[in-house]
Structure 1
Amino acid sequence: MPASFGTPELMSVAATLGWASGLRLYAVLFLTGLAGRLGWIGLPDGLQWLAHPLVLGASGLMLLVEFLADKIPGLDSFWDLISTLVRVPAGAALAAAVFGGDETVWATVAAVLGGSLAATAHAAKSATRAAVNASPEPFSNWGLSLAGDALVPSMLWLAWQHPLTAAAALAAMTLAMLVLLWRLARHLRALLARMRRALSGAEPPQPA
């Protein structure tokens, strides 16, 4: 951890870890641990376990599984569904671990922020991919998946090298995700309303 990092910089790292966990949890675990293992970054005490060889092996394997599952329409949505139980609490735990056990108040704040950002990112990703899966062509799905593959390591790098810039970028992307969720929710409500009207106006089937 750079000596110049104060509470604002640490909170930016914590928020980025939480947010990125909502998109690519195993990429966050593996890339953060690998960077610490190679000495590229100084991991806080609470995150040192990520650099353990066994953890790197497990997170690397799961990263490969997640990478492949995210490229298959339909399977990606199922993967997002079962990952709901993992991504949000993991994002909160990683964010809290940036501060460790000696700064309980800030660790708690980081956990709440990290979990909230993980939930927002996960919801936006899941909803967008589910909507795109309605299209018969796979290229939009692959494009979104590859964008996520590139975005997560880019944001992790930015958080460790330029944490305040990362905080500004994270705020902008979170706002965009919230707007996206709001628009998707409006679209879904309109679709359900049309379906209800169609069903209520349908004539009952005539007996043979």
Structure 2
Amino acid sequence: MIEFIIGTSLAASAGLNAWMPLFLLGLSDRLIPAVELPSSWAWISSDLALWIIGALLALEIVADKIPALDSINDVVQSIMRPASGGIVFGAGTSAQTVAVDDPAGFFSQNTWVPIVVGIAIALVVHAAKSATRVAANAVTGGLAAPVLSTAEDAASFSLAAAAIIVPIVAGLLLIGLIITVIVLMRRWRRRREAKAAAAHG
């Protein structure tokens, strides 16, 4: 159960920011003795991986706060965030990867299941984030982008950090994220329906 909470929280974090949970996982593996990634995921904490992930994290943080560029970034991240979600869910639940010379084992041993679950979770969060951002940009002319992006980065960091250090808190944060997404989507739908009614009226 704890492993599922950890994996789910990390994947949801990836849905908000592809690189945040990967970077925090890698750093934690390097700096916190109590955190040890499974051997098949240890590459996340290598020097090269941390430098690349850190640079991509900084790039996404900046790009996501610039109106218009944030929408382009969301399109690009439609691939990266789910992929990251699959990786961090697999690492967080201690799923093992399979060697390239044994691709059949990937399916016969159900190794793919945690990765697909992580991809699905990150994809759902990413889709909700993108829809909310489009609606907010339309209403505010893009002025809400920096504020929303900062809140999303903070939520991504909090989810990932809590998943690594205090999984129970991560579970509570995850519930809060779900409630927030539902509330925002309902508001967006009501505004859209109100605009449609006004246009027809």
* Partner in structure 2 of residue 87 of structure 1: 81
Do structure 1's residue 129 and structure 2's residue 133 form an aligned pair?
A: yes
For these two proteins, the number of residue pairs brought into alignment is 188
Do structure 1's residue 151 and structure 2's residue 155 form an aligned pair?
A: yes
Deviation at 1:69, TM superposition (A): 0.3
Give the structure-1-normalised TM-score.
0.77
Give the structure-2-normalised TM-score.
0.80
Q: CA RMSD in A?
A: 2.6
Alignment of 1:153-168 (within 5 A): 153-168=157-172
- Give a deviation string over 1:129-162, Cα, whole Å, max 9, x none: 2222221463x32221111222222222211222
Deviation at 1:128, TM superposition (A): 1.8
Alpha-carbon distance in structure 2 between the residues aligned to 1:74 and 1:123:
17
Q: Contact conserved, 2:82 with 2:119, CA < 8 A, in 1?
A: yes
Where relative contact order (Cα < 8 A, 6+ residues apart) is larger, the structure is: 2
Moved over 6 A (4+): none
Residue of structure 2 aligned with 1:54, choices 48, 61, 68:
48
Residue of structure 2 aligned with 1:119, choices 120, 123, 147:
123
* Partner in structure 2 of residue 3 of structure 1: none
Q: Contact conserved, 1:120 with 1:174, CA < 8 A, in 2?
A: no
Q: Contact conserved, 2:70 with 2:145, CA < 8 A, in 1?
A: no
Cα pair distance change 1:119/1:137, threshold 3 Å: closer
- Give a deviation string over 1:70-90, Cα, whole Å, max 9, x none: 110111011001211221132
Alpha-carbon distance in structure 2 between the residues aligned to 1:80 and 1:23:
10
Letter in 2 for 1:45: S
Q: Which runs of 5+ in 1 are unaligned?
A: 1-7, 199-208
Deviation at 1:192, TM superposition (A): 5.0
Residue of structure 2 aligned with 1:100, choices 91, 95, 98:
95
Alpha-carbon distance in structure 1 between the residues aligned to 2:196 and 2:126:
23
* Partner in structure 1 of residue 17 of structure 2: 24
Do structure 1's residue 14 and structure 2's residue 7 form an aligned pair?
A: yes
Letter in 2 for 1:67: I
Q: Which runs of 5+ in 2 are unaligned?
A: 98-108
SS at 1:25's partner residue?
coil
SS at 1:170's partner residue?
helix
> Computing the radius of gyration over CA atoms, which structure comes out larger, 1 or 2?
1
Deviation at 1:193, TM superposition (A): 6.1
SS at 2:19's partner residue?
helix
* Partner in structure 1 of residue 185 of structure 2: 181
